[in-house]
Amino acid sequence: MSRLDHTHDPALISWVESANRHCDFPIQNLPLGAFSAEGQARRIGVAIGDFILDLTAIGDLLDEDWREDLSLPVLNAWLARGPADHTALRHRLSELLSDQRYRDDVEAALIGQSEATTYLPCIVGDYTDFYVGIYHATNVGRQFRPDQPLLPNYKYVPIGYHGRASSVRVSGEPVIRPAGQRKPPDAEVPEYGPSRRLDYELELGLWIGRGNRLGEPIPIGEATDHIAGYCLLNDWSARDLQAWEYQPLGPFLAKNFLTSVSPWVVTADALIPFRVSAMKRPKGDPEPLPYLRDDDPAPGLGLTIEALISTEQMRAGGLPPHRLSHGDAAAAMYWSAAQIVAHHSSNGCNLQPGDLIGTGTLSVDNDDGLGSLLEISRGGKQPITLLSGETRSFLEDGDELILTARAKAEGAVPIGFGDCRGVVVGVS
């Protein structure tokens, strides 16, 4: 794993004025993504302050060996190069955006973020969602199994399921209310119709860089080197459909209608100053099996993650979004990102560049940091009251759900992920 270097220096500033003290994209961040400006084709860029730096336009200032991969409309080929090239590009971009000597050559390649359209950064060949948030798993399990909220395998196996890659979309995609079978508790037979219990899930996403060959597991000590970066992820969920269909094989139509991600790949290098220790396992919990035993002293990410809601009424009245959840990602994760990757490949499954992995809902151990409405409203039994006076148990048509994340640490410049948002659209 890479270490702190001059690109993390809190004294480093950019000649791009908006980047200095920017809440999400200072020069210490430099996340990668795919975008287009009016009249231009889709291309790869870097978020810097209020702008996007078009890497195609500055190709002559980059290593010749990189140009082909960075001129593509998606990041898969670039992510496949691995940590050494990723770090080298970060160093070069930091130099170009901080040294006044390059300003005349680079400034013309800046496009305002408000003038650009962002896209999925990668072709998502496969998407897997895990369930590493132990407090979320306990809260949900308690609603269905009060005497045994966690099943016996939870503290041995990082639980996951394969989601639908084709319905992964970038932030801003409308959330069309899904329809499916639902069976109210007092009904004798199920019915088909739009979900009445639409929910969000506050998660992080992992973008895979270098993959592994089929049949060759990734050792836990190498797993971090296979994670190219991170994003926010919202695994929208139809809880009424899920309750009826999830046994015996797990989620299906309740999940695969849409998964939203933030557009920027916040690189593993950018997050080095914010590495923290893992959740302290309660006394009496089993030790991870040897293939999951991680010697990294700081396998967690010091991120503050939050979810906010803005209803149509709130927007019409000029009210700010209402915060639903606010918590520490590392305090929510029973299994680390490295353990997720090691376990996913432990049977020989081949991960590929641009694959997406979700952590599962990240709730913390208090009511302020619950990562879904299913938990916040206690399964719909305790509706919450918003700033507008409206109440919510689950999402209504016109509601906008917004996820954010910020990394902070003493002696480091804070960085952010941008946001991940979607507005619920009803079906006629």
Domain spans, the chain? 6-119, 127-425
DSSP assignment string, 82-116: -HHHHHHHHHHHHHHHH-GGGHHHHGGGEEEGGGE
What mean pLDDT value characterizes the chain?
A: 96
What sign for the dihedral angle of Cα 330, 371, 338, 406? negative
The predicted model scores a pTM of 0.97
- Exposed (0-12), middle (13-18) or buried (19+): which is 114, by Cβ within 10 Å? exposed
Mean pLDDT, range 20-47, rounded to an integer: 96
Locate all alpha helices (DSSP H) within 129-236, ordered by sequence: 134-144
Q: What are phi and psi of 393, to 5 degrees?
A: -105, -40
What ranges make up the beta strands (E) of 356-399?
Answer: 356-358, 384-385, 391-392
Task: Note whether 98 and 13 are within 8 A (CB).
Answer: yes
Mean pLDDT, range 12-29, rounded to an integer: 97
58-96: pLDDT as tens digits: 999 999 999 999 999 999 999 999 999 999 999 999 999
Of all residues in the chain, the percent with pLDDT exceeding 90 is 94
117-153: pLDDT as tens digits: 999 999 999 999 999 999 999 999 998 888 889 999 9
pLDDT of residue 395: 98
- CA angle, 226 as apex, 354 and 274 as ends, to 5°? 105
Distances (CA, A) of 335 to 134, 195, 272, 359, 413: 9, 31, 19, 9, 27
Residue with tokens 């009904």: 187
Six-digit token string for 394: 């689950």
Answer with the residue of higher pLDDT: 124 or 246.
124
* Residue 180 β-bridge partners: 193
Mean pLDDT, range 345-363, rounded to an integer: 98
Per the annotation, the verdict on 322 as an active-site residue is no
With bands split at pLDDT 50, 70 and 90, how would you rate the model's confidence at 2? low
The enclosing H or E element of 375 equals helix 373-376
Active-site position among 8, 86, 136, 344: 136
pLDDT of residue 247: 85
Residue 211 predicted with pLDDT over 90: yes
Using alpha carbons, select from 264, 290, 314 the residue that is nearest to residue 34. 264
375-413: pLDDT as tens digits: 999 999 999 999 999 999 999 999 999 999 999 999 999
Reduce the DSSP state of residue 344 to 3 states and report it. Answer: helix
Residue with tokens 């800046």: 110
Residues 6+ apart with CB under 8 A from 354: 74, 75, 76, 79, 122, 123, 124, 125, 207, 208
Residue 428 predicted with pLDDT over 80: no
CATH topology for 6-119 is: SH3 type barrels. (2.30.30)
Using alpha carbons, select from 19, 33, 17, 5 the residue that is nearest to residue 92. 5
Task: Note whether 336 and 130 are within 8 A (CB).
Answer: no
Of all residues in the chain, the percent with pLDDT exceeding 70 is 99
**CATH code for 127-425?**
3.90.850.10
With bands split at pLDDT 50, 70 and 90, how would you rate the model's confidence at 290? very high
* Residue 45 β-bridge partners: 33, 54
pLDDT of residue 1: 55
Q: What are phi and psi of 237, to 5 degrees?
A: -140, 130
pLDDT of residue 210: 97
Amino acid type, 323: R
Six-digit token string for 270: 């950018």
Preceding amide of 194 cis, omega within 30 = no
pLDDT of residue 246: 87
pLDDT of residue 146: 87
The enclosing H or E element of 229 equals strand 227-234
pLDDT of residue 163: 94
